[in-house]
Chain A
Amino acid sequence: MSVKMLRIEDLLNSNVWDVDYEPHIKVDYEKCEKCKAKPCIVLCPAGCFTEMGGKVLYSYEGCLECGTCRIICPYNAIEWKYPVSGRGIHFRFG
């Protein structure tokens, strides 16, 4: 049997969320556009940040609520809060 590396989408598939109606992540593009390094793209464990045409696109649905993005963003462009009302990631093992 061979063991293949899984894509982030497949890893996330094992998780359970109750996705919030409102995004709990917000990117200030005025600040974001100045950033060349874009560490959020490789360091967000959930892959919430991707790059398209030089612009950072983001989603909040798969967020694992670690808070890495708001700490590593060199331009303080990411506003990250907790989802409300029990929504967001629901760890069953932790």
Chain B
Amino acid sequence: MVKKFDVIVIGAGPSGSTAAYTLAKKGFDVLLLERGRVPGSKNMFGGKVYVSPLKEIYDDFEKYAPIHRWVTCEKISLFSKEDYISIEYKGAKSVSFTTFLTQLSNWMARRAQDEGATLLTEITVDGIYLEDGVAKGVIATGNRVEADVVIDAEGINRLILESAGIVKKPSPSQVALGIKEVIKLSTESINEEFCLNDDEGLAWIMIGDVTGNIPGGAFLYTQKEAISLGLVLILDVAIRAINEHVSRYVERLRTHRLLRRLFEKGTIVEYSAHLIPEDIVRLKPPSYYYDGLLITGDAAGFLLNLGYTYRGVDYAAYSGYLAGLTYEKAHAEGRFDKSTLSYYGKLLYDSFIMRNLKKFKDVHVLMRNPRIFREYPQLFTEFARTIFKAEYDSEKIMSAFSNAKKGKVSWFSLIKDFISLIRRL
């Protein structure tokens, strides 16, 4: 007779490990299953994590978590072929930090273990074990393991939920592709190049020519002794627009005339890729809870992409935490059916996760406006070039803008796009 667990969590990423930590800390018997060799070895992200939701969940998070640098400098730039224009923000107390996701997931899973969760690695779950449509456990490597509740934190590739018939394979319009190079550099070089102190970090989002004008963006984050440099490409547009291998796009970014100096002394130590939830309305499963089943993290589509910032890890972790709280309540009631577990939905909708995902549900529409990724970066850089690079005669701002606008966008499109932007973002 195989032992039955209170909860089985599929996937030791940020959401699964946090769910396991939350439950184990409350004294429940949790089995955390991870397909990688160690927790985190299949995880990948850009580089930045928002701290407040994590501090709420983990005791002494700031003291023990693998925090590389506190993001003190936020920068967004629009790139044309030859130049770029930026907005940089510095000043207020940092609310986010840079790290490597492999380290953070690993740390979270260790915390879950410290609280008594059972972690098994190198286990690829084959499917959810269903009895009359009720999740009763999982099937992994041919064995059946039972639990009151299964928490599906399998990530963006929902092979398990697909095989259970809960979700369909996403279409290319629902996801984006993230590709990243980790470039090792000394702490001193990073501090010098980006004007940072040891514990200060930079989050830099670039839009325009850096993605070959494909909707999405490029990112640069500074870790302690490395830079994470990469691209996010909206997949359905990329299919039509891409004209050479996608790795060339990342390499063109790294060797960009205006950026390459930053990486000259660096060594590429990892090249990774991952899918990112994009159209969160269409990607979301029909429900976040079923009889005996809760869905968290990327699998639920919990990621906020505002174009100038990405939030995924804190959303994932917090959804795992809420799934943990839901089980606690269901356990007290002794029922694990869909209506009891609907408490998870209530918690989600009362939390910042659904508040923000609802507020920004149409942002992905902007990602399909080609002008944002080609004409506007060209317009604003040309405008800046005109006013800053006046050799003798200076241009008035309005005439510099009108000239830069000429042949790129009409006033009508400009106003339309502006309204569209402020409505959605």
A contact set with B: CB distance below 8 Å:
1, 3-6, 8, 11-12, 14-15, 18, 37, 39, 41-47, 64-68, 70-72, 81-86, 88-94
Contacts and interface: CB of A to CB of B under 8 A. Distances in A.
Contact of A91 (B43, B121, B172, B245): B43
B346 interface: no
Closest 6 CB pairs of A and B: A86-B122, A94-B102, A45-B273, A94-B101, A67-B157, A66-B273
Contacts of B157: 65, 67, 70, 82
B260 interface: yes
B397 to A, nearest CB: 36
A82 B175 contact: no
B281 interface: no
B307 interface: no
A94 B245 contact: no
Given A11-B251, A18-B37, A93-B102, A82 B242 contact: no
A63 to B, nearest CB: 10
Given A18-B37, A46-B273, A71-B172, 20 more contacts: A3-B255, A5-B255, A8-B245, A12-B271, A14-B271, A15-B271, A41-B245, A43-B177, A44-B246, A64-B272, A67-B156, A67-B157, A68-B235, A82-B35, A85-B122, A86-B35, A86-B36, A89-B42, A92-B269, A92-B270
From A4, A6, A45, A84, name the one whose CB has the most chain B CB atoms within 10 angstroms: A45
A3 B275 contact: no
26 contacts: A3-B254, A3-B263, A5-B251, A8-B247, A11-B250, A11-B251, A14-B269, A15-B271, A39-B242, A45-B177, A65-B157, A82-B35, A84-B35, A86-B35, A86-B121, A88-B42, A91-B40, A91-B44, A91-B101, A91-B102, A92-B41, A93-B226, A93-B270, A94-B43, A94-B44, A94-B100
B274 interface: yes
B18 interface: no
Given A14-B268, A71-B235, A82-B124, A94 B177 contact: no
Interface of B: 35-37, 40-45, 100-103, 105, 121-122, 124, 141, 156-157, 159, 169-172, 175, 177, 179, 181-182, 226, 228, 235, 238-239, 242-248, 250-252, 254-255, 260, 263-265, 268-275
From B37, B156, B263, name the one whose CB has the most chain A CB atoms within 10 angstroms: B37
Contacts of A81: 159
A12 B100 CA distance: 19
Contacts of A37: 239
A42 B273 contact: no
Contacts of A45: 177, 179, 246-247, 271, 273
A68 B271 CA distance: 15
Contact of A11 (B122, B247, B274): B247
From B175, B226, B251, B264, name the one whose CB has the most chain A CB atoms within 10 angstroms: B251
Nearest to A9: B247
Contact of A6 (B226, B251, B269): B251
A6 B270 CA distance: 13
Contact of B45 (A15, A47, A94): A94
B242 A70 contact: no
A20 to B, nearest CB: 10
A42 B250 CA distance: 13
A12 B181 CA distance: 10
Contacts of B121: 86
Contacts of B124: 82-85
A4 B246 contact: no
B109 to A, nearest CB: 13
Given A39-B239, A45-B246, A91 B270 contact: yes
Nearest to B181: A11
Nearest to A6: B251
A85 B260 CA distance: 39
Given A65-B42, A92-B102, A94-B105, A47 B247 contact: yes
Contact of B245 (A1, A3, A47, A90): A47
B117 to A, nearest CB: 19
Contact of A14 (B37, B265, B270, B275): B270
Contacts of A12: 271
B314 to A, nearest CB: 16
Contacts of A4: 255
Contacts of A42: 242-246
From A12, A14, A83, name the one whose CB has the most chain B CB atoms within 10 angstroms: A14
A72 B239 contact: yes
